[in-house]
Structure 1
Amino acid sequence: MPPLLALPFPAIDPVAVAIGPLQIKWYALAYIVGLVGGWFYAKRLVSTPSLWGAVRRPTPLDIDDLIVWVALGVVLGGRIGYVLFYNLAAYLSHPAEILAIWRGGMSFHGGFLGAVLALVLFSRRRGLNTYAMLDLAAVVVPIGLFFGRIANFVNGELWGRPAPDFPYAIVFPNGGPLPRHPSQLYEAVAEGLVLFVLMALAVRRVGFRRPGLLGGLFVVGYAVARTTCEFFREPDPQLGFLFGTHVEAFGGGITMGMLLCVPMVIVGAIFIVRALRGDTRPRPRLDGNAVEAESSGMTST
């Protein structure tokens, strides 16, 4: 019998669509909706010249091609990141399991690095300002984060820490008898909805005229949101709390998710400082005509 203060977990089939042997799960749909939503929003943004100033805009065709690069970066990076950061010993014992993506196991931080690498390579290939392309991605990424966390909740995974006195706690099917925080929903709101609104406001105010600024704001914002939500999220069982640190106020300690957010804050702060100093903006030629940033984009131009 569930505790009196616990809400029942909504029994949602993890399979969204089934046609014969073909099954499409909610988690796969979350990736698809996130990518398609980001693609649509990005095309709207590159169609607004006033947001870009002297920075070269990617074309709508560039965005069509970029979505393939980013999708590969997210999937490959997310899987490799999960293997390296969260369960390396188990996968070294059974290396064939690394390829079994359908069984779950993706890391946001790994997917983030994979997407960044894809953006860097793509922008160099097309002669675009890399910082500006990272900014563009930063504005649209919260769409995927929102739907991804909702899918985590539907799957009944990545649940929160025990919360017997919280009136909206939920007993998850595989989370034991204790009611727990629905931390997936906290992350959907903080990392998805709130961050999307903040980035939308930022892009309306400053656009992409200071390459790197929006990317830095997103990285710092995500790190703060993720770290806050980690206080309510149960750490991965194979890792638990790191360093034996105990925070009495929240009944836990430092998690891998928190640790991986530290370099994000540092890198994001560097991006913001460089953008505000103008180090990443396109420089005029000697004849005074504005030019686009160098194809590398990652150096001062």
Structure 2
Amino acid sequence: MGILDFVVWNVSPDIISSPVNIRWYGLMFAIGFLAGTSILGRIYRHEGAPERWVGILLIWVVCATMIGARLGHVFFYEWAYYSQHPLEIFKIWEGGLASHGGTIAIIIAVLLYSLFTTRRSPIWTFDRLVIPVALVAGLIRIGNLINSEIFGTATTLPWGFMFLRSRQWHEMYYGQACHPTQLYEALCYFILFALLMWMY
């Protein structure tokens, strides 16, 4: 194979590993939530909605994202293990988040936020929240790429990635490049974010 036939991906997921561990994935989450809060704040100000509603919604969404994504991973993927080691559920820093679990929890959180805070239809909140959520989702997928996780099947396309830091890649695809599905999905989310901003 020539040098441009695939991408050798060996990026460390750690920004800093000592004395504390700071990972790119966590940074993508943080940037996403900060940017999302700023965007939502501008939307609320534009519409004359109380700005304190933004901070309250941020708390609901952050808690729902972390708890829901963790429980989604626990129940959907590794219940056999966690049912025998329940205290391990709390070790969220060791990894194991499922975005669909977070999505379910965010829906529930918005329903409660609408009931107790805005006293408006949840659709009012969802219509505005989906804009920054698309941006956050794209950033999280970039974090997945840096973590060398949730990639696709083998490919001979020149932009295929060899995920050298992935145990799954070594076990299933060693020597073969794989689709960087994280990038595909991130690109779709960023396009969706731009479209939603334009529509708004």
**TM score, norm. by length of structure 2:** 0.88
The match for 1:179 is: 177
CA distance in 1, matches of 2:123, 2:58: 17
After superposition, residues 245-256 of structure 1 pair within 5 angstroms as: none
Question: Which residue matches 2:131?
Answer: 139
**What corresponds to 1:82 in structure 2?**
73
Q: SS of 2:15's equivalent?
A: strand
Q: Does 1:12 align with 2:31?
A: no
Task: Give distance in 2, aligned partners of 1:167 and 1:93.
Answer: 44
Cα 1:117–1:8, aligned 2, differ >3 Å: closer, same or farther?
same
CA distance, structure 1, for counterparts of residue 153 and residue 69 of structure 2: 24
Instruction: Give the CA RMSD over aligned residues.
Output: 2.0
Write out the 4+ residue segments of structure 1 that deviate beyond 6 Å after TM superposition. 1-4
1:195 is aligned to 192
Identify which of 141, 146, 150 aligns with 1:149: 141
Q: How does 1:158-177 map to 2 (within 5 A)?
A: 158-163=150-155, 165-173=156-164, 174=166, 175-176=169-170, 177=174
Matches within 5 A, 1:54-65: 58-65=49-56
Distance in 1 (alpha carbons) for counterparts of 2:146 and 2:4: 22
Counterpart position of 1:95: 86
What letter corresponds to residue 195 of structure 2 in structure 1? L
Structure 1 length-normalised TM: 0.60
Letter in 1 for 2:42: R
The 1-side partners of 2:195 and 2:28 are apart by: 22
* Fraction of identical pairs, as percent: 29
In the aligned structure 2, how far is the partner of 1:97 from the partner of 1:202? 43
- Return closer, same or farther for 1:2/1:161 CA change in 2, 3 Å cut-off: farther
Whichever structure has more helix as a proportion of its residues is: 2
Superposition deviation, residue 180 in structure 1: 0.5
Indicate the structure (1 or 2) with the bigger Cα radius of gyration: 1
Query: Separation in 2 of the partners of 1:149 and 1:198?
Result: 19
Classify the secondary structure of the residue corresponding to 1:47: helix
**AA in 2 matched with 1:12:** V
Q: Which residue identity lines up with residue 16 of structure 1 in the other structure? A: I
Using the TM superposition, give the Cα deviation of residue 169 of structure 1 relative to its aligned residue in structure 2, in angstroms.
0.9
**Structure 2: 5+ residue runs without aligned partners?**
none
Amino acid at match of 1:84: F
Structure 2 partner of 1:125 = 116
Secondary structure of the residue aligned to 1:171 is strand
The alignment covers a number of residue pairs equal to 192
Deviation by residue 1:83-116 (Cα, 9 ceiling, x = unmatched): 1222222222332222221121111111011111
**SS of equivalent residue, structure 2 residue 114:** helix
Report Cα offsets for 1:180-228 as digits up to 9, x if no partner: 11111111111x212112222332xxxxxxxxxxxxxxxxxxxxxxxxx
Q: Structure 1 residues 32 and 172, CA, compared in 2 at 3 Å: closer, same or farther? A: same
Q: Point out where structure 1 has 5 or more consecutive residues left out of the alignment.
A: 50-56, 204-301
Inter-partner Cα distance in structure 1 for 2:62 and 2:102: 9
Q: Residue 16 of structure 1 aligns to a residue in which SS? A: strand
Deviation at 1:12, TM superposition (A): 2.5
